[in-house]
Amino acid sequence: MKIGFIGLGIMGKPMSKNLIKAGHKLVVLDRNLEAVAELVALGATTAANAAEVAGQVELVITMLPNSPHVKEVVLGENGVLEGGKPGLIVADMSSIAPLVSREVAVELEKKGIDMLDAPVSGGEPKAIDGTLSVMVGGKQAIFDKIAPVLKCMAGSVIRVGEVGAGNIAKLANQTIVAINIAAMSEALVLATKAGCDPDLVYQAIRGGLAGSTVLDAKAPLVMDRKFNPGFRINLHIKDLQNVLDTSHAVGAPLPLIAVVMEMMQSLRNDGLGDADHGALIQFYEKMAKIEVKR
């Protein structure tokens, strides 16, 4: 399939590479010209703007930072809507507000363009090895048509409902991830402050009920003091703002997430906004005056 891929950041670049490896032809676009050049060297082509991308392909995938960026690229001047023809499919794999997904889908549908919201979970490592989890909202027939493409980048691709449902699922995912990292941080700081080896505590609990994918992904990095971003605190703050906005809109109070949000805001104020969200442990370390390490 000929695919347009717009957004070649930490996640988008390895995802697009996996599509090329699977034999798809890509037209790529990003403000980072080095990332574009890297994909062109692998066989992709490029275009001047999103409208030109959309005019050449059957499917446009967007992987962008937040709701305003998606609206600009899809609905704005020289955007996907302007260049796309009836029958085009847009799969927005960004993590954005569910109501914005629905708003964008409505505008596209007026021109005969179908949209899926298909946010991902797994961070950079899973984007690189093609084992992301993809949560999809949209029409069943459209999902069935492009699911094989999505599986080139993922280990799990699940349709959870109509447009917007994919981002609802992603918000639920980000809620669980944030609270898990906070709980892990509390536990490892407690163990260290009490004089125990945090690595041995981690090894002791990881096989029991406290074990989780989050624990296994983040505890070793924390103890090795590796906070280079797989998923930045700034991006998790963005997601948690969408969580809170949505929770307020539907009347679902989320007190734990409100607290974790404030912890992440504190870390951003300390200059750690571009660190991995595992750096949340530094909020606790600062209060306990202790450092968790092997």
Sign of CA dihedral 220, 223, 225, 230: positive
> CA nearest 183: which of 208, 217, 215?
215
User: Do residue 65 and residue 158 come from a single domain?
Assistant: yes
Number of domains in the chain: 2
Instruction: Work out the mean pLDDT of the chain and round it to a whole number.
Output: 97
Q: Once rounded to an integer, what is the mean pLDDT over residues 78-106?
A: 97
- Verify that 100 and 200 share a domain, yes or no: no
169-208: b or e for each residue (b if 16 or more CB lie within 10 Å)?
Answer: bbbebbbebbbbbbbbbebbbbbbeeeeebbebbeebeee
Residues 252 and 121 in one domain: no
What does each C-alpha distance from 11 to 146, 185, 230, 254 come to in angstroms? 19, 25, 9, 28
Please give the pLDDT value at position 123.
Answer: 85
Q: What pLDDT, on a 0 to 100 scale, did the predictor assign at position 157?
A: 98
Q: Which residues contact 240 (CB under 8 A, 6 or more apart)?
A: 174, 175, 178, 257, 260, 261, 264
Specify whether 129 is located in the same domain as 244: no
**Domain identity same for 150 and 187:** no
Tens digits of residue pLDDT in 267-293? 999 999 999 999 999 999 999 999 999
Reported as a pLDDT band with limits 50, 70 and 90, residue 176 is: very high
Percent of the chain scoring above 70 in pLDDT: 100
The tens digit of pLDDT for each residue in 28-57 reads 999 999 999 999 999 999 999 999 999 999
**C-alpha span between 67 and 95 (Å, rounded):** 8
Same domain, 157 and 267: no
The model's confidence at residue 262, banded by pLDDT at 50, 70 and 90, is very high
Give the residue numbers spanning the domain of 26: 2-162
Q: With left for phi above 0 and alpha for psi between -120 and 50, is residue 134 left, alpha or beta?
A: beta
- Residue at 294 is within a domain: no
Using CA atoms, how far apart are residues 98 and 101, in angstroms rounded to an integer?
5
Q: Which of 136, 162, 188 finishes a domain?
A: 162
Quick one: 186 and 142 in the same domain?
no
Q: Are residues 18 and 99 in the same domain?
A: yes
Residues recognised as catalytic? 170
Reply yes or no on whether the pLDDT at 27 is more than 90: yes
**Phi and psi at residue 137, in whole multiples of 5°?**
-120, 140
User: What tokens does 222 get?
Assistant: 């924390």
- Say which CATH number the domain at 114 has: 3.40.50.720
Q: What is the mean pLDDT of residues 179-199?
A: 98
